[in-house]
Amino acid sequence: MVRKHRILILTLLGILLSTTGFGIHYLIESDQDAKKTTVTIAVMVNDGVRDFNTNYYTHWLEEQTGYDITFEYIPKGYETEYIQTMLSFDESAIDAVFLSGKEKILEDDAFNSFCDKGMIYDLSAFITKDSNFSQVMKEYSEYELYDQIKRGDAVYYIPQMDTARKQHNLQVLWINIDWLKTLKLQIPKTTKELATILQAFKEKDPNRNGIQDELPLISCEASYSMQSYNYLLNAFIYNDPLHARLYFKDGKIELAQVQDTFLQGLNFCRDLYENGLISDIGFSYSQKQIMELVNDPEDLVGAFTSKSISDVIYPNCSDILAKFIQVAPLAGPDGEKNAVWVNLEPKIGGYIPANSRHPEEAYKIMDTMLSKEASLIAAFGEEGKDWKYSDSGELSTYGSLAKITTINYLSDSLQNKNFAGTGPLMLDDMYANSVTWNGDCSLVEYIDARAIRTYETYYGKSEAYLGLFPDNAALYETINKTTDDWILRFITGESNSRDKDTWQQYKSTIEKLWESFD
């Protein structure tokens, strides 16, 4: 029955997306509409957008480009099938696909495969020196943005990238301040103090429900930023999982994961796990399940790590947001403190199917979205009504002089002024980092900014070897995957990090991989 239902859905998708079936509102076109090009864009439903078709930003883009823009919603639960079906036709009703930074649909390998098969349009023929795309690539050349986007000599998507300062930090440790107050404990400054606090979280019923149901510290395998053990390892040695855990010592590149201090950190994490202070429940949970756990009104979680607090706590849950406060980088037994610096990385903002009827028009819309005026609308809404340029000496969420004064905060609310992060977007960091704070302590932007300011002092020098592996991606991934697998085995006790032979076996494995790097 399920199989038949799925086949029916795919059949309906085929009818919707093919130009012969063409969907409900393509059956009839008036002569007047036929004179004006209509560009159809596929999007996923966005909880922050009331209606893409009646959106202020849509109307603005129509005025700027001279095209009519229509949005089609991708069926929830059938996103992958939708894209695969849409790309398979000789000619499609869809001219472009817009994504948000938190949406992928296709994994990188699948997307690249479609590109290599000629099913995604190569935009390089449309890109000119004076295009907004070219200007953005020039402005962010220090991050090698163009090299990150291109595939060979081709460009298959227009990017979306968050340029805020918080994006440079891999992870923050958030701790339950209510539990600390209940137990009359202070925010920890060292790994030793954290271990004592986690033990108290486990044993002293800080949520006061009379049940030992507290989860002192949770970890999640959904991303490096949510792996709390990677945060803890940075109190022992600079641990950068994004760059094969390389670090500089005396002018030489070293592997952190084979050092004795790294082993010391692994043993610390192993002890926490063995004593139930790092909960094992998170190792099998998805990010969504972790979010449900932390947002549970039963108040079950003592601490977690993430890049932004909104990666785990729903932005509209002000009572839950108020429960957690950032912990600055912890000092290890030797006084080591580190935070991992992250290079800005573009995500797919929009791409054009090779079977699009209007590829050039779709590109023009996406390129327009990279302009300064468009980016400000995409970030803050309508000028004069939702925001204005700041001229009164107000302070931003980062404590610097503000350049943008918000009148109506659109973030984390249902609105119809912009696409709430969907589609191409490259806001100049001058504006992204200079937005006024409205005094709301539960505002995600304020909470994240406050946290990042305590981490920036401790950034390592990852940027010094960002380009180390451009032609050795497979080796880079192998070192990362091998290290990641061993770390989990050590922490969960599957392998014994305190056994000298086992540790030597692990070291030899990693060192041989490194020696093969040419």
CATH number at residue 469: 3.40.190.10
Q: What percent of the chain has pLDDT over 90?
A: 73
Per the prediction, the chain carries an average pLDDT of 89
Q: Is residue 142 part of a domain?
A: yes
Distance of CA 140 to the CA centre of its chain: 19
Q: How far apart are CA 487 and CA 157, in angstroms?
A: 35
pLDDT at 23 over 70: no
The candidate with the shortest Cα–Cα distance to 306, out of 421, 222, 191, is: 222
Pair (144, 179) in one structural domain: no
Give pLDDT, residue 253. Answer: 84
Query: Does 423 map to a domain?
Result: no
Please, what is the Cα angle at 88 between 82 and 89, to 5 degrees?
Answer: 105
d(C-alpha 429, C-alpha 414), whole Å: 25
Q: How confident is the model at residue 518 (pLDDT cuts 50, 70, 90)?
A: low
Identify the CA nearest to 95 among candidates 132, 43, 160, 149: 43
Share of the chain above pLDDT 70, in %: 91
Give me the pLDDT at residue 87, please: 94
Handedness of CA 463, 466, 467, 468 (dihedral sign): positive
What is the per-residue pLDDT for 440? 77
Check whether residue 156 and residue 238 sit in a common domain. Answer: no
Q: Are residues 157 and 233 in the same domain?
A: no
- Regarding whether 81 and 175 lie in a shared domain, the answer is no
Evaluate whether residue 414 is within a structural domain.
no
Same domain, 229 and 334: yes
According to DSSP, residue 128 is labeled -
State yes or no: pLDDT of 99 exceeds 60: yes
CA distance 28 to 304: 54
Q: How confident is the model at residue 432 (pLDDT cuts 50, 70, 90)?
A: very high
pLDDT bucket at 315, cuts 50 / 70 / 90: confident
Domain assignment present for residue 430? The answer is no
Q: Do 325 and 359 fall into the same domain? A: no
Residue 29: is its pLDDT beyond 70? Answer: no
Supply the pLDDT for residue 516: 80
Residues 56, 60: Cα–Cα separation, whole Å: 6
pLDDT for the residue numbered 453: 95
Q: Is a pLDDT exceeding 90 seen at residue 142?
A: no
Q: Which two tokens stand for residue 112?
A: 């690249």
Q: Look at residue 427 and tell me if it is in a domain.
A: no
Clarify whether residues 224 and 335 are in a common domain: yes
- Cα–Cα nearest to 458, from 108, 189, 200: 189
Asked if residue 422 is part of any domain, the answer here is no
Q: 501 is in which domain, residue-wise? A: 170-340+460-515
Select the more confidently predicted residue: 463 or 272: 272
Strands of the 172-176 sheet, one edge to the other? 303-306, 172-176, 324-327
pLDDT at 472: 61
What pLDDT, on a 0 to 100 scale, did the predictor assign at position 14?
55
Query: In terms of domains, do 192 and 310 share one?
Result: yes
**Using CA atoms, how far apart are residues 439 and 446, in angstroms rounded to an integer?**
9
Cα maximum dimension of the chain: 80
Cα dihedral across residues 424, 429, 431, 432: positive or negative: positive
Domain shared by 141 and 265, yes or no: no
- Whether residue 465 has pLDDT greater than 60: no
Is residue 339 predicted with pLDDT exceeding 50? yes
Q: Specify the pLDDT at position 8.
A: 42
Average pLDDT over residues 301-327: 95
Average pLDDT over residues 355-376: 98
The burial of 56, by beta-carbon neighbours within 10 Å (0-12 exposed, 13-18 middle, 19 or more buried), is given as middle
Token pair in block for residue 516 = 């093969």
pLDDT reported for residue 415: 95
Measured between alpha carbons, how far apart are the two ends of the chain, in Å? 54
Confidence of residue 86 (pLDDT cuts 50, 70, 90): very high
Q: Which amino acid does the sequence have at 216?
A: P
72 within a domain of the structure (yes/no) = yes
Strands in 139-219 per DSSP E = 158-161, 172-176
User: Residue 269: which residues within 8 A CB-CB, separation 6 or more?
Assistant: 229, 232, 233, 278, 490, 491
- Number of domains into which the chain is organized: 2
174 and 321 in a single domain? The answer is yes
One domain for residues 294 and 189: yes
Q: Check residue 107 and give its pLDDT.
A: 84
Averaged pLDDT for residues 274-301: 94
389 has a pLDDT exceeding 90: yes
Q: What's the mean pLDDT in 396-416?
A: 89
pLDDT at 438 over 80: no
Instruction: Assess whether 188 and 291 both reside in one domain.
Output: yes
Residue 473 has pLDDT above 70, yes or no: no
Is 30's pLDDT higher than 80? no
The model's confidence at residue 455, banded by pLDDT at 50, 70 and 90, is very high
Look at residue 4 and tell me whether its pLDDT is greater than 60: no
pLDDT range class, residue 28, cuts 50, 70, 90: very low
Residue 399: inside a domain: no
Whether 423 has a pLDDT exceeding 70, the answer reads: yes
Residues whose CB falls within 8 Å of the CB of residue 306, separated by 6 or more in sequence, listed in order: 171, 172, 174, 225, 226, 312
326, 361, 378 - which closes a domain:
378
